[in-house]
Amino acid sequence: MNFLQKRIEQDGRILSSRILKVNTFLNHTVDPQLMARIGQAFADHFKEIHPTKVMTIEAGGIAPALMTALDLDIPLVYCKKAKPSTMDDPLFTEVFSFTKQTSYTLCMERASLDPEDRVLFIDDFLANGQAFIGIENLVSQAGAKLVGCGFCIEKAFQSGRSHILEKGYPLYSLAPIARFEEDRVIWLEEE
């Protein structure tokens, strides 16, 4: 069991068979020392694929993605969930959030990615893979290449994992969950 799995068992709360609440350390309230360890773990895992940019979505993915970018010494690009008036040449796609039960427009400035960029997607959660599909679409629109996907917490019992693996992208999750059993997390490696 790694450091993030231990922290989830210590401070996470299972709200249902599909929802894990980690707002006291991962999103909403952020533990900076934990984020530093997460960034280092992702950077160590993905450094051999030589990404040139880390990419994520506001807001939950920013902290782990920023720390990963810092360790890799490359820029971070984060996508917005609404088009700001200051965006000159946006790329955008529609994404459905199962947590919020609504669709939103995911957008970024076209100039944020170059066609030669090798993009590493880092996010806080992987569930149904809708955020991944949005990122994949934006990277493709920019003519860049998606080279890997890292997630702090993965709900492996949902469809996101299979979608990413079917596409052939390298996938690394620090805390892959097989299922929730009563008030206990069953980790994928325990299966």
The answer regarding whether domain 3-190 maps to CATH 3.30.1490.20 reads no
Residue at 98: amino acid letter: F
pLDDT at 188: 81
Summarised one tens digit per residue, pLDDT across range 173-186 is 999 989 888 788 88
pLDDT at 51: 98
| Of residues 128 and 52, more confidently modeled | 52
Summarised one tens digit per residue, pLDDT across range 126-156 is 888 888 999 999 999 999 999 999 999 898 9
pLDDT at 1: 60
Concatenate the DSSP letters of all residues of the chain into one string: --HHHHHHHHH-EE-SSS-EE-TTTTSSS--HHHHHHHHHHHHHHHGGG--SEEEEETTTTHHHHHHHHHHHT--EEEEBSS--TT-SSEEEEEEEETTTTEEEEEEEEGGGS-TT-EEEEEEEEESSSHHHHHHHHHHHHHT-EEEEEEEEEEETTSTHHHHHHHHT--EEEEEEEEEEETTEEEEGGG-
pTM: 0.91
Summarised one tens digit per residue, pLDDT across range 72-125 is 999 999 888 866 677 778 788 888 776 667 787 888 888 899 999 999 999 998
Q: Are 142 and 171 in contact (CB under 8 A)?
A: no
Decide if pLDDT at 15 tops 70. Answer: yes
pLDDT at 182: 79
pLDDT at 190: 65
